[in-house]
Homo-oligomer: A and B are copies of this chain.
Amino acid sequence: MRISELSAQTGVTVPTIKYYLREGLLPEGERTSPTQAAYGEKHVERLRVIRALLDAGVSIAETRRVLGALDDPPASPNALLGTAHAAITPPVEDSLDLADTEALVAGLGWTPGACDPAVLHAVARALDGLERAGFVVPKPVMREYLRSARRIADAEIAGVPEGSAEAAVRYVVLGSVLVEPLLLALRRVAQQVSSGERFGG
């Protein structure tokens, strides 16, 4: 199909499609003439994934890296998760002290080497932000965060499809990124329901 048809089918405007082509998010179509290219179903599907990532707040640069992980996945599902996380996690900051973080994530089953340093640093950065704001998470609440994070992760990892490598890649890469807005939104609904029950409407 032509770029105009690709636009009509996906609802993404032609200038935006051209922008994604220039940014390397969308692979080039097959040249049919010096000024025209043909696009196929894989472009339709790729455009849907790009829109979903950008709508979820993932940056253009992160989206490029996530798509790279989809196109060129590492061999093991475990390495795949690391690649997906690396695409959306800021690099390590050496200035952060990890002692408190390591003590905390031991509650998740973490031991030295059990996860990428960048992901551990993301926890340290979040704790640092809370501390600088003078915000203290009550101990029973923090315990529930750890328990729930582990339960969620166990359910998710148990759900990694076996058999099809492509299905596993999609599940791990898109699941780790796209589900985040859903989890945060569900927490807000639950907070309002729970607050209504405790404090009245």
Identify the A interface with B (CB < 8 A). Answer: 45, 48-49, 51-53, 55-56, 76-78, 81-82, 85, 89, 105, 108-110, 113-116, 119-120, 122-123, 125-127, 129-130, 132-135, 137-138, 140-141, 143-160, 170-171, 174-176, 178-201
Cβ contact of A187, chosen from B53, B183, B194, B199, cutoff 8 A? B183
Q: Are A114 and B192 in contact (CB under 8 A)?
A: yes
Q: Are A174 and B133 in contact (CB under 8 A)?
A: yes
If A140-B155, A199-B77 touch, whether A105 touches B186 (CB-CB below 8 Å) is yes
Cβ contact of A189, chosen from B49, B110, B183, B188, cutoff 8 A? B110
> A175 — which chain B residues lie within 8 A by C-beta?
135, 137
Q: Are A119 and B188 in contact (CB under 8 A)?
A: yes
Q: In whole Å, how far is A173's beta carbon from the nearest beta carbon of chain B?
A: 10
> A127 — which chain B residues lie within 8 A by C-beta?
182
> A157 — which chain B residues lie within 8 A by C-beta?
191, 194-195, 197-198
Which single residue of chain B is at the shortest CB-CB distance from A109? B193
Q: Are B78 and A189 in contact (CB under 8 A)?
A: no
- Interface class of chain A by DSSP: helix
Q: Are A170 and B129 in contact (CB under 8 A)?
A: no
Which single residue of chain B is at the shortest CB-CB distance from A124? B185
Q: Are A145 and B199 in contact (CB under 8 A)?
A: no
If A132-B48, A193-B109, A194-B150 touch, whether A145 touches B114 (CB-CB below 8 Å) is no
Q: In whole Å, how far is A108's beta carbon from the nearest beta carbon of chain B?
A: 5
> A113 — which chain B residues lie within 8 A by C-beta?
201
